[in-house]
Amino acid sequence: MKAHQNPKLTPSLISTADYIERLQLSSGALPWFAGGITDPWDHTEAIMGLSVAGRWGASRKGFNWLAESQRSDGAWFAAYNDDAVVDGTRTETNFVAYVATGLWHYYQITNDKQTLSKYWPMVEAAINFVLAQQQPTGEIYWAVDTQTGPSEDALITGCSSIFKSLECAINAARTLGHSSDDWMQAKVRLGDALLHKPERFDRTWESKARYSMDWFYPILGGVVSGNAAKQRLSAKWDTFVEPHLGCRCVADQPWVTIAETCELIMACVAAGEIDKARVLFTNIQQFQLGDGSWWTGYVFTDQVHWPDEKPTWTAAAVLLAADALMDITAGANLFTPKRA
């Protein structure tokens, strides 16, 4: 299947996709930046940006890297340098599950059933690994330590991401004629924990409530929708959103991050807050560089871009947010099925 240059892509978005594709290694790995690490979640996010931009051959190269580097238990380590493991201390469950989101997103855009079928075994093994960490109370442990086993606590953000990945995996299973009953039941249990069992999260460390992702990820993942989503956004909007800039990563730090802002944009679209999403998208345009890349973030008290990094996954988040707002592709509603 050939690449497709979507006429809805603006010059800014085309240069964004060019930047991601330039950094892809011959192995298919998509590092954070030139010489940087590759992790399964951000690698998949970068694939999704390429899919939005019609760079489908590059997307398939990315899936092939995932398939080649997947362990026999269905998981990936936390970080790689091309094909070499650089952090083999743990496996993060939301990282592993996210490959299902990336592959289903690719299929939504391309209708390429051959590729969906080719990488189905990879998704099936990944999801089964993740669900082995689900507890009877519904939550899914955030990581498995190489030496000591499961880290016995759960993250709201991570589990919300897994909730979306389960939805995508179930959709892929149905499309290919595979049973997904167990996965559907697991998704229900996970959603119930996220909605009704807050005590099952952040049990062994300080609450992550000061992080903006804990605020909007339940909406982005599809756990919270409708009026409840609008109310959730409204409750902490002034806490996390810095006027004329974007979304803070952490409530008590003067640091706006572009990827979190893009994810908030998609959460706003999902909640029907389209005007807020458009304002945020307009605000972040100041953070693109001439080569198509985007700064990670901006410390507004010091007026400094920080860190001095332009990650591929930030660029990909911009493409996904643009798609959610502009209906560029058939995958535009992946994170925003409840749009008004």
List of the chain residues with pLDDT < 70: 1-4, 338-340
| pLDDT tens figures, 149-158 | 999 999 999 9
* Residue 144 bridge partners (DSSP): 91, 150
DSSP letter assigned to residue 38? B
Phi, psi of 134, rounded to the nearest 5 degrees: -80, 140
Domains of the chain: 11-326 (1.50.10.10)
Q: Identify each DSSP E strand in 68-213 by its residue range.
A: 79-81, 84-87, 90-92, 143-145, 149-151
Spatial strand order in the sheet of 297-299: 255-257, 297-299, 304-305
Task: Indicate the residue type of 20.
Answer: I
| pLDDT tens figures, 309-331 | 999 999 999 999 999 999 999 99
What pLDDT, on the 0 to 100 scale, is given for residue 6? 82
Phi, psi of 199, rounded to the nearest 5 degrees: -70, -10
DSSP letter assigned to residue 90? E
Instruction: Report how far residue 33's alpha carbon sits from residue 24's, in angstroms, rounded to the nearest whole number.
Output: 9
| pLDDT tens figures, 59-116 | 999 999 999 999 999 999 999 999 999 999 999 999 999 999 999 999 999 999 999 9
Which SS3 state, helix, strand or coil, does residue 249 take?
coil
Instruction: Report how far residue 303's alpha carbon sits from residue 242's, in angstroms, rounded to the nearest whole number.
Output: 13
DSSP letter assigned to residue 186? H
Instruction: Report how far residue 66's alpha carbon sits from residue 97's, in angstroms, rounded to the nearest whole number.
Output: 12
